[in-house]
Amino acid sequence: MTSCLRERLAVGSCAVLGLAISTGYPIGMIVAAAMPYASLTPATKRSGFRAALAYYLAALWPMIAGLERYLGRSGASLAPFAIWIVGSIALSISWALAATADRVQYLWRAPLALAATVLPPLGIIGLASPLSGAGYLFPGTGWLGLATVALLPAILLAAEALGIRQRLVVSCCTIAFCTGLAIVPRLLGSGDRVPPRGWVAVDTYFGDVSEPLRDFTAAQFIEETAAKTPARVLIFPEAVVPRWSKATEAFWKESLDRCRNHGQILVFGAGLPRPGPAELSDLQRYDFGAALSALKSMNAQPVPLPVLGLPGPEPTDNALLLVGADSGTFYQRVPVPIGMWKPFSRDSVPLRINAPGVLNVDHQRAAILICYEQMLMFPVLASMLQHPTVLIGISNTFWVTGTSIPRYQANAVRGWAKLFRLPYLLAVNS
């Protein structure tokens, strides 16, 4: 086979694998595990880069529509395309550097290239990882299954440097091991585990809760659901309370007291304002008296709220809160780059790579994945190192409605739960 034909096959194969994982279906995540083998087969750095770029461009194309909605009309029209292309190029570089004609070196080059796309700093945008399907390939095998998916392409590539007999022996042993690792856990029962008794995740359909009055509607829904549901732990989606402050807590006092008396815990996503030097001036610009008068006059139909000026953007943490019979705060570790994490911007959501990945909830160690983190590798792995007993995912998907991203997020969370044999709960606002 000529090198030109081999490169074309590698590029075409990687594009197909990228399209497969972009669907968000488990089968697509499974076949994407072959990406390292396909991209490094041509053995030249140029071919490795082109093949990897074809994979990431195909895998990440759904983000274009999502970014167009997320960044809004105020953003540059070409910004989503620029982010898509630049992100794909950045993730492809490690595969170009790993390519070599010495097949034996793939034993360390291929895993190293994979690690570079998983760990920070590149791991902050490390979407569509070939490791995403590990839980569906080898359920219940934990770190062993993850290591197998990571090392399998390297072993097969290195085996090509051996003679025919040795290559056959290595291939047969590898296939036998992987087959056993896939079948035995299934025979022993590795299906989805049942969540803790009394735990319930609630999906909502509020759309953009930050829009006027929707936060009040969301708060009413949460309070009413908590009042009529006997569940001990109620989990609601990301940012259903756009701004949690002392005033918000006072508004919720009656519901929180009821939850404490009944031993009920509410878990929900919220924005936590961080004090800044401009906070007081912003408050002074807002006419609270006029706003309250307008609210009191709202009998049957809405009226415009007269204000002297709306508060400007404030620094905010995207977090998960525990209120009621228990209390706690979990901060999102990796907010959406550009959309939420905006370095040097006043209203940026902080990046907290080293923040805890587990929160104690009702005597359980809960690994928390907030929205964007569900599509990355290292927040998951960091949480698993802390020995969780349950996995909780919360997200806001209204801005990616009509794309495969919500399906990918849901199946990714389920896949990690299957891999590490954890019960999981997923609460989504759409």
Kindly report each contact of residues 220-228 with a partner whose C-beta sits within 8 Å and lies 24 or more positions away, as own/partner.
222/255, 222/266, 222/268, 223/252, 223/255, 226/255, 226/258, 226/259, 226/264, 226/266, 226/324, 227/255, 227/258
Residue with the two structure tokens 């009191």: 296
Considering only CA atoms, which of 50, 101, 124 is closest in space to residue 109?
101
Which residues lie closer than 8 Å to 22 by C-beta, 6 or more apart?
Answer: 28, 58, 59, 60, 61, 62, 128, 404, 408
Strands 233-235 vs 390-396: parallel, antiparallel or unpaired:
unpaired
pLDDT in 10s for each residue of the chain, 430 residues: 677 888 899 999 999 999 999 999 999 999 999 999 999 999 899 999 999 999 999 999 998 888 887 776 545 678 889 999 999 999 999 999 999 999 999 999 999 999 999 999 999 999 999 999 999 999 999 999 999 999 999 999 999 998 899 999 999 999 999 999 999 988 887 678 999 999 999 999 999 887 877 888 898 999 999 999 999 999 999 999 998 988 888 888 999 999 999 999 999 999 998 765 544 444 444 444 444 444 445 554 544 444 434 445 567 899 999 999 999 999 999 999 888 888 877 778 889 999 999 999 999 999 999 999 999 999 999 999 999 999 999 999 988 888 999 999 999 999 999 999 999 999 999 9
b/e for 322-332, b at 16 or more Cβ within 10 A? Answer: bbbbbeeebbb
Superfamily of domain 199-274+315-429 in CATH is Carbon-nitrogen hydrolase (3.60.110.10)
Query: Using CA atoms in the order 156, 161, 164, 167, what is the torsion angle rounded to 10 degrees?
Result: -30
Strands 265-273 vs 233-235: parallel, antiparallel or unpaired:
parallel
For residue 118, give the amino acid letter: V
Q: Distance between CA 319 and CA 180 in Å, rounded?
A: 41
Cβ atoms within 10 Å of 9's Cβ, excluding its own: 15
Strands 364-370 vs 390-396: parallel, antiparallel or unpaired:
parallel
How would DSSP label each residue in 364-420? Answer: EEEEEEEGGGGG-SHHHHHHHTT--SEEEEEEE-GGGTTSSHHHHHHHHHHHHHHHT
Query: Using CA atoms in the order 369, 372, 373, 377, what is the torsion angle rounded to 10 degrees?
Result: 140
Residue with the two structure tokens 């998916």: 149
Element (H, E) at 79: helix 79-98
Residue with the two structure tokens 């025919």: 164
Residue 222 CA neighbour count, 13 Å, CB half: 35
Which residues lie closer than 8 Å to 369 by C-beta, 6 or more apart?
Answer: 379, 380, 383, 391, 392, 393, 394, 413, 416
- Using CA atoms, how far residue 361 sits from 44, 324, 338, 389, in Å, is 50, 12, 31, 10
Which residues lie closer than 8 Å to 1 by C-beta, 6 or more apart?
Answer: none
Sheet strand arrangement including 316-324: 199-201, 233-235, 265-273, 316-324, 328-331
Domain ranges of the chain: 3-187, 199-274+315-429
Q: What is the pLDDT of residue 214?
A: 84
Q: What is the pLDDT of residue 5?
A: 86
Where does 95-250 show beta strands of DSSP type E? 199-201, 233-235
Q: What is the pLDDT of residue 75?
A: 53
Strands 328-331 vs 358-361: parallel, antiparallel or unpaired:
unpaired
- Using CA atoms, how far residue 73 sits from 70, 80, 245, 398, in Å, is 9, 11, 30, 16
- What does DSSP assign to residue 194? P
